[in-house]
Amino acid sequence: MKRIYLDHAATTAVAKEVFQAMQPFFSEKYGNASSLYSLGREAKEAIEDSRAIAAKVIGAEPREIIFTSGGSESDNMVLRGIPEAGDHIITSAFEHHAVLHTCQALEKEGVKVTYLPVTKDGFVRTEDVKKAITKNTKLISIMHANNEIGTIQPIAEIGKICRESGVLFHTDAVQTYGKIPIDIKNIDFLSASGHKLYGPKGIGCLYMKSGVSLKPLITGGSQEHKMRAGTENAAGIVGFGKASELAMKNMGKEAAYETKLRDMLIDDVLRIEDSWLNGSRKNRLPNNTNLGFDYIEGESIILHLDIKGIAASTGSACSSESLTPSHVLTAIGLSPVKAHGSLRMTLGKDNTKEEINYVLGVLPGIVENLRKISPMKLARR
Amino acid sequence: MYSKEVMEHFQHPHNMGEIKNPDGVGTVGNPQCGDVMKIFIKVEKGKDGKERLKDIKVQTYGCVAALATSSMITDLAMGKTLDEALKISNKQIAEALKGLPPIKMHCSVLAADALHSAIEDYRKKGARRIQPKESKAKARR
C-alpha cells in the first residue's frame, strides 16, 4: 500500500541532497572540528559554511548562530539561561511543551511566569503582552507559529514592545524557520530545528543577537563560542546547512504550492456536517490544517486513516502519553469534548493533488462510520 | 502500542448499535475525558430458570482502546447468565485483547462498568417482567 504522509509538522523525511551532503562526515571526514590537522579543519570549515547559510536564512551574522541538538534544547537554553529566582517572564498558554514545561519547572525555582491567554482564532494579543510587563520582567517567549493550529503570531509587534521596554525577546520558530520569512530586527533569541525542513533529527540552532548573552546549559569545551560545549555534530550540522539552503531557495514556491493543497483540503473537509477548522484561516502556516469533528474522537480517526495508508496526527493528546485534551485547543476556547475530536494534517513539498484527493475520498467515510457507533449526539461546541 | 487483537476489534467492532426496547441500558464515561460507552441488553430466562444475556449492543465514543474494549465485552458476555456477566472483570477484558497500554486500562474498566450498569438497570426496572420461555407451555398443561 502506498503511504501518504501528512504529518510534516511532526517531522519530515531527510531530503536526498541533504543525506548526500551528510554522508562523508561519518566515516571519511570524521575529524573533530577542534583538531588542528587537516581532517579537523575540514570538519570545522564545513560547520562554518553551514553556520553562514543558517544565518543567511534569517538575515543574521554567522557568529550569532549556535548549533544545538534541536528546538527543545534551544528553548531550554534561553529559558534556563536568562531568568533567576524572583525574575518575571512572559509566555503564552499555547506554547510548545518545550517552553511550557520548562516554564513550569522555572516556577518551582522561584521564577514568576505569566501565561498569556490567546484569542479563539489562535493569536496572542499584543496589548496583553504590553500589560503583562512589570519592572521585573526579564524575558518574553512567544512562538512564531503554533505547531498544532499553524497560526502565525505577531512577533514583529511583540518584538517592538520588548525593545521599547528593555525586555529580551525569544521566539520558538521551529515551525517557520526556512518556511516563511522572519524579521529578526527585534528578536534576541530564536529557536530552529533541522528535521522540520527535510533535515536530520537531533540538530537545530539558536540565534542569539550579538551583544546579548545567557548562562550556558551545557558546559565543558569552548565549542560554539563557549555557549554549547560538546564535540560538534558535524554530519548533523552539514545536514542542517544543506536543508536550510534548499529551504531558502524554495521558500516562496513551496509555500504557494502547499497553500493551494491546504485550501483544497480545508474547503472539502468542511463539507462534512458538524466539522470546523481550528485556528484562523488568515495568518496561518501554508502547510497546516487542523479540523474538528463532532461526536467522534481523534485517535480513532487517525488509526483508521493509518489503515488506509495515511499518516496524520490528532489535535488531542490521547494517542500520546497524556489523556488530557490538547492544551492548544483548550487555550483557543474549545471544550474538552470538542478538543478530543480534532485531526491535524500538515502538508509537505512532496504531497500531490492526487494524494489529497485520495484523503478526501476516504475521510468522510471514516467520520461517518465512527459517528454511526457513537452515542454522542448532543455534543455542542 | 496496540496488540493485533485490539486493532482487529477496533477495525471491525462487534455488536455495535442499539437495541430497540432494551431490557436494560448502562451509560458510563465522560465526554470530557474522551470516552463514553452505552450498552443495551436483552435478557431471557432459560429452562434452568436463570436469566441470560440474549443480546448485547454497544455504542462507543472514544479512542481505539475504548472501541476495542466495548466490542470485546459484548463477546465475553453474550449468552452468559447475569451473575456470570457481572463477574467479568476489566482485567479479563484486557487479557482477552492480549493486553492494553497501561494508560488505556481505564477503557477496560469503563467497558466492565457499562455492562454492570446495564444489568443493574434491568434489575431495578423489575426483572419480573421477563417470564421463563416455557411458562406458556407449562400453563397449557
Residue B78 counted as domain residue: yes
CB proximity A380 to B under 8 Å = no
Whether residue A80 contacts residue A102, with contact meaning beta carbons closer than 8 Å, is answered with: yes
Q: Cα distance from A345 to chain B (closest Cα, Å)? A: 18
- Residue B138 within a domain: no
Contact A362/B at CB under 8 A:
no
Identify any residues that bridge with B58 across adjacent strands, giving them in sequence order: B16, B39
Instruction: Report how far Cα A38 is from the mean position of its chain's Cα atoms.
Output: 37
Give backbone dihedrals phi and psi of A356, rounded to 5 degrees, phi first: -65, -40
Nearest-CB residue to B59 (from A300, A304, A375): A375
Q: Do A297 and B35 touch (CB under 8 A)?
A: yes
Residue B40, H or E segment: strand B35-45
**Is the confidence at residue A11, as pLDDT, over 80?**
yes
Range of the domain at B75: 4-128
Is residue A322 very low, low, confident or very high in pLDDT (cuts 50, 70, 90)?
low
- In-domain check, residue B70: yes
Kindly report the average pLDDT of chain B as a whole number. Answer: 90
Structural domain includes residue B31? yes
Domains and CATH numbers, chain A: 4-11+251-380 (3.90.1150.10), 16-246 (3.40.640.10)
Region of residue B4 (left: phi > 0; alpha: psi -120 to 50; beta: else): alpha
CA nearest to A145, candidates A214, A191, A198: A191
Contact call for A299 and B13, based on CB within 8 A: no
For residue B91, being part of any structural domain is answered with yes
Tell me if B140 is assigned to some domain.
no
Cβ-Cβ contacts under 8 Å for B78 (sequence gap 6 or more): B15, B53, B55, B56
| Grid cell locating B116 | 454492570
**Model pLDDT, residue A321:** 52
Going by C-alpha positions, the residue among A92, A106, A105 that lies closest to residue A172 is A92
Whether residue B110 is contained in a domain is answered as yes
Strand duo A88-92 + A112-116: pairing: parallel
B62 interfaces chain A, CB cutoff of 8 Å: yes
Q: Is A270 on the interface with B (CB under 8 A)?
A: no
Count the domains in chain B: 1
For residue range A68-117, list pLDDT tens digits in order. Answer: 999 999 999 999 999 999 999 999 999 999 999 999 999 999 999 999 99
- Mutation choice for A interface testing from B8, B16, B61, B70 by most A CBs within 10 A: B61
Q: What is the pLDDT of residue B132?
A: 55
User: Looking at the domain assignment, is residue B65 inside a domain?
Assistant: yes
Tens of pLDDT, residue by residue over A213-243, are 999 999 999 999 999 999 999 999 999 999 9
Active-site residue, selected from the candidate residues B11, B33, B133, B135: B33
Residues of A in contact with B34 (CB under 8 A): 297, 316, 318, 323, 325, 336, 340
Q: Which residues of A touch B57 (CB under 8 A)?
A: none
Instruction: Tell me the pLDDT tens digit for each residue of A290-319.
Output: 999 999 999 999 999 999 999 999 864 444
Predicted confidence at residue A315, as pLDDT, reads 61
Query: Percentage of residues in chain A with pLDDT exceeding 90?
Result: 94
Residue range B66-85: mean pLDDT, rounded: 97
Q: What is the predicted pLDDT for the residue at B135?
A: 47
What is the reported pTM? 0.92
Percent over 70 (pLDDT), chain A: 96
**pLDDT tens-digit readout, A179-206:** 999 999 999 999 999 999 999 999 999 9
- The Cα of B41 is separated from the nearest Cα of chain A by a number of Å equal to 15
Task: Select the residue of A321, A325, A340 nearest B103 (Cβ to Cβ).
Answer: A321
**pLDDT at position A319:** 43
| CATH number, domain with residue B45 | 3.90.1010.10
Q: Which three cell numbers stand for residue A178?
A: 526556512
